[in-house]
Structure 1
Amino acid sequence: MALGVQFIISVVLYIIILATFLGLLILIVRCLLKYLKSTDVRHEKAIIRKSLGEVLKENRIRCKMTQEFVSESIGVSRQAVSK
């Protein structure tokens, strides 16, 4: 009879370990899916992280302004705008 009880306990422990492993596996899959769906957010954060110089250059190019025109407009040298 003791052998039957030990067998039942070992089976129950095995089931608990298996359930824990499956739970962790499900959490990992959920995390990966959430990460894959967050590409828009990551792209937006990359845009926000741009330096001031990069943002100014993009806007200058979008407005079709040269460095020389900007430098004359704000009263600094062209090299200052370049930096």
Structure 2
Amino acid sequence: MKYSFVGVIIWGIVLLIGLAVIAGFITLLFFGIKALKKYLNTKEVREEKATIKKSLGEVIKQHREECKMTQEFVAEAIGVSRQAVSKWENGTSDPSTSNLIVIVKLFHITPEELLKEVL
């Protein structure tokens, strides 16, 4: 069987491309497995942080829901927009000190009770 020089070159290039694809896949697989192992090894730490850490917004939302209040009601009682209350609860912004004082009065708790839940 006779092979042409161009045919051999083309097959060589195809072989090199195939090897490069396989090498890339193996590298991707290696780093994917390494990242997955690292993630799985931190499960306890992630669970501990989830149970301990509460943001100010989460605490405000928790108390608002316990008092059966809507964001709109809280906003009207404090004199801010409903969007401001939403931003406090999702952590985009924090209430001012004066608004925080009104919030704790509205929820019938002390500032200490509210802030001790925040870590």
Instruction: Specify the TM-score bucket, using the shorter chain as the normaliser.
Output: 0.5 to 0.7
TM-score scaled by length of structure 2: 0.41
Q: Output one character per residue of 1:23-67: Cα deviation in whole Å (capped at 9) or x when no partner.
A: 111111111111110012102211322466xxxxxxxxxxxxxxx
Q: In structure 2, what is the Cα distance between the partners aligned to 1:11 and 1:48? A: 55
Q: Kindly, what percent of the aligned residue pairs are identical? A: 29
Q: Structure 1 residue 80: deviation in Å?
A: 4.9
Name 1:31's counterpart in structure 2: 35
Amino acid at match of 2:17: L
Q: How many residues were matched structurally? A: 59
Which of the two has greater helix per residue?
A: 1
Paired with 1:38 and 1:27, the residues of 2 have a C-alpha distance of: 17
Q: State the partner residue of 2:9.
A: 5
Higher Rg of the two aligned structures: 1
State the distance in 2 between where 1:22 and 1:34 align. Answer: 18
Q: Counterpart of 2:39 in structure 1: which amino acid?
A: Y
From 12, 16, 29, give the equivalent of 2:20. Answer: 16
Which structure 1 segments of 5+ residues have no match? 53-78
Report the RMSD for the aligned CA atoms in angstroms: 2.8
Distance 1:80 1:42 in 2: 30
2:81 counterpart residue number: none
Q: TM-score of the superposition, structure 1-length normalised? A: 0.56
